[in-house]
């Protein structure tokens, strides 16, 4: 059984909402406190990217099962300007805005799986998963 939740991500209030929903599902999936914190933090970083750089979009939070393992998968999708140089964007400290540039690189370290799909003018889709 997989559970799905779609959340609009347009403002900084929505970032809070994403954190709260992700937290609820992480608790439900039985993640330890440290793991919960890692997942919520990654969600917060990515949701903020969606608002600040992607011009808003949506998040899909789902519980997934594979090979007897339970995981939490977060997908963030926007129709924004997209990323020209993904490799550069993944570097610690690189930012086109006013942030610290830890959003992408940091959330990759906090999760087990990280996938980014983006092209200029095509928007950005980031998928991250953490297994229990």
Partner 1 sequence: MEKIPILKMGRFLLVSIQVDMHDRLAMTLQEDLTDRIVKENARGVLIDISSMEIVDSFIGRMLGSIASMSRMLNAETVVVGMQPAVAITMVELGLSLSGVRTALDVEKGMEILHRFRQPGEEETDIDDQA
In the list 33, 67, 68, 87, the residue contacting partner 1 (rule: CB under 8 A) is 33
Closest listed residue to residue 43, CA positions, set 70, 69, 7: 7
Shortest Cβ 65–partner 1 spacing (Å): 25
Q: Is there binding between residue 15 and partner 1 (CB under 8 A)? A: yes
Q: Is there binding between residue 96 and partner 1 (CB under 8 A)? A: no
Q: What is the distance between the alpha carbons of residues 106 and 117, in angstroms, rounded to a whole number?
A: 17
Tell me the C-alpha to C-alpha distance, in Å, between residue 42 and each of 1, 57, 67, 113, 121: 24, 17, 24, 12, 25
CB 29 within 8 A of CB 65: no
In the list 20, 66, 96, 122, the residue contacting partner 1 (rule: CB under 8 A) is 20
3-state DSSP assignment of residue 22 = helix
Segment near partner 1 (CB under 8 A); pick from 32-40, 53-61, 66-74, 124-132 = 32-40
Please report, as ranges, the residues that interact with partner 1 according to CB under 8 A: 12-13, 15-16, 19-20, 23, 33-34, 36-38, 40-41, 44-45, 48, 92, 99-100, 102-103, 105-107, 109-110
């Amino acid at each position: 059984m997989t559970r799905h939740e779609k959340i609009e991500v347009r403002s900084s209030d929505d970032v809070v909402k994403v954190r709260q929903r992700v937290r609820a599902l992480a608790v439900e999936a039985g993640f330890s406190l440290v793991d919960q914190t890692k997942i919520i933090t990654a969600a917060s970083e990515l949701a903020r990217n969606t608002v600040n750089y992607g011009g808003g979009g949506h998040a899909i939070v789902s519980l997934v099962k594979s090979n007897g393992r339970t995981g939490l998968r977060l997908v963030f999708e926007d129709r924004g300007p997209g990323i020209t140089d993904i490799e550069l964007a993944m570097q610690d400290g690189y930012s086109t805005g006013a942030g610290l540039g830890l959003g992408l690189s940091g959330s990759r370290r906090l999760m087990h799986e990280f996938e980014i799909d983006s092209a200029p003018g095509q928007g950005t889709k980031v998928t991250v998963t953490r297994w229990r």
